Amino acid sequence: MGKYEELFQYIERNRSRYVDWAMRLISVPSVSTYGTGLDECADLVAEMMEDVGVRAEKFSNPEGGGPIVVGTHNAEAHATLMFYNHYDVQPAEPLEKWTTPPFAPAVRGGLLYGRGAADNKGNIAARLAAVDALNNVLGEIPVNLKFFVEGGEEVGSPGLEKFAQTHRDKLFADGCVWEYGYRNKSGAPVVYFGLKGMLYVEVEASGPGKEVHSSWGAAVENPAWRLIHALSTIRRPDGRVAVEGFYDDVVYEGEELLAQVDIEDFSPPHKLLKAAQQNPLKNLLLEPTVNINGIISGYVGPGSKTIIPPSASAKLDFRLVPKQKPEKIFQSFVDHLKKNGFDDLNVKMLQAYPAARTNPSNFMPKLVTETAKEAYGIDPVAIPSGAASGPMYVVTDVLGIPCVSTGCGYYGSSVHGPDENIRINDFVANIKHIALIMLNFHRYMHLG
């Protein structure tokens, strides 16, 4: 009988109960973009914390996003482990692309479907399940716990930094496990030591303000043309960002860790990676970039309609790496438009936060990767920085806590897309992993 056999068996026996916890959370349509269901979901998170013996406090967030829920379990230990999560989710549109409704969680063929299954409600459930399992098997948790759960991550975590600054004592911890992680196609859990930063902007070209017959296009400026010409100047066809100064502060570190990563393990599949992308893995994990999330102008219904559009707008996200300052990049972007003759465009900053990374030699990376092997039975893949973004800098830079990310998703989780899902076996393995992190935290911390 293995070292953790009793614990693992308990978790296995309770898998359907823990899946129900995830489903309860998914059932609340807490879409921060629309501001719906946030209070309700915060209350549910607090209630579920209390149910496993974690004391929950709810703080309203005057800057937007849902209330922040802080959970505390005081084990009178000399080590405190934090979990960062968020209970808000991305909008579920397009709804017609879902096999079953996004907020009616459903289990099919060993998969749990629903908006938030992977990002991030499955992870909240898994972490509370680990607390439950340790309490029931050991009768205690051998480490102090802090749950730091927000409701505005998908809209740029408004107020999170300020909350951290004004609640330093309450948020004291020695190490933090970030919100998410995925298993790759080889079955290895992927562990992230960092995340990219984010600058999300909306650019609008104003036009005639109402639809004008398109025969006037020969003489009247068309806002869609204006926007297209402006956007075409900010990124080269090869993917390189053409905004002056964009790469000035970029420092390349951690490239040696990429050797153990196989691009084919990721989703979306390899075929999407165009030949033009010389080094997709480096681009994905270490390079900053700019992406178009959406663009809209004029008539987009069936067939033909001949108009000059009233206006045109696009949403862009810049993914930033450490040392790039989002406010400085935003200013470079505005200056770039001006220099290229597009100062008539209206630019709005919707999200802005820097990247974050924890040094691989810190105890947290060691703790999380070494326990992963025991929980999953396979070596994890360690990545210096994920491709995605999140306000990890609030933990690493504002609170000064080393931080590593791991979670219950997999390469097919369709995060932010239709039919978001997790594999229940991964969910169970992740509960085991989180329990082992709690069990071993104190020892690793003091090993250094």
Please report, as residue ranges, which positions from 370 to 409 form the binding site for its own copies (by CB under 8 A): 386-389
The answer to whether the CB of 151 falls within 8 A of the CB of 41 is: yes
CA distances to 17, 44, 111, 280 from 114, rounded to whole Å, are 17, 17, 10, 30
DSSP symbol at 394: I
Q: C-beta of 444: minimal distance to its own copies in Å?
A: 29
Site for its own copies in 190-249 (CB under 8 A): 196, 198, 200, 208, 210-222, 224-225, 228-229, 231-232, 235, 237, 239
Give the residues across from 190 on adjacent strands: 182, 381
CA-nearest of 79, 113, 128, 28 to 367 is 79
Which residue among 350, 362, 373, 411 contacts its own copies (CB under 8 A)?
350
Q: C-beta of 296: minimal distance to its own copies in Å?
A: 4
What is the spatial distance between Cα 36 and Cα 442, in angstroms, rounded to a whole number?
Answer: 39
Nearer to its own copies (CB atom), residue 180 or residue 441: 180
Nearer to its own copies (CB atom), residue 139 or residue 303: 303
- 317 forms part of the interface with its own copies (CB under 8 A): yes
Tokens standing for 208?
């005639």
Nearer to its own copies (CB atom), residue 323 or residue 443: 323
Which residue among 309, 322, 326, 402 contacts its own copies (CB under 8 A)?
309
CA distances to 131, 343, 351 from 315, rounded to whole Å, are 40, 17, 11
Show the site string, 82-101: x = touches its own copies by CB under 8 A, - = not: --------xx-xx--x----
Residue 80 backbone class (left: φ over 0; alpha: ψ -120 to 50; beta: rest):
beta
Q: Which stretch binds its own copies (CB under 8 A): 38-46, 101-109, 376-384, 415-423?
A: 415-423
Tokens standing for 328?
């400085």
Tokens standing for 389?
């973004």
- 292 forms part of the interface with its own copies (CB under 8 A): yes
- 61 forms part of the interface with its own copies (CB under 8 A): no
Q: C-beta of 375: minimal distance to its own copies in Å?
A: 25
What is the spatial distance between Cα 442 and Cα 448, in angstroms, rounded to a whole number?
Answer: 10
Nearer to its own copies (CB atom), residue 2 or residue 294: 294
Nearer to its own copies (CB atom), residue 106 or residue 228: 228
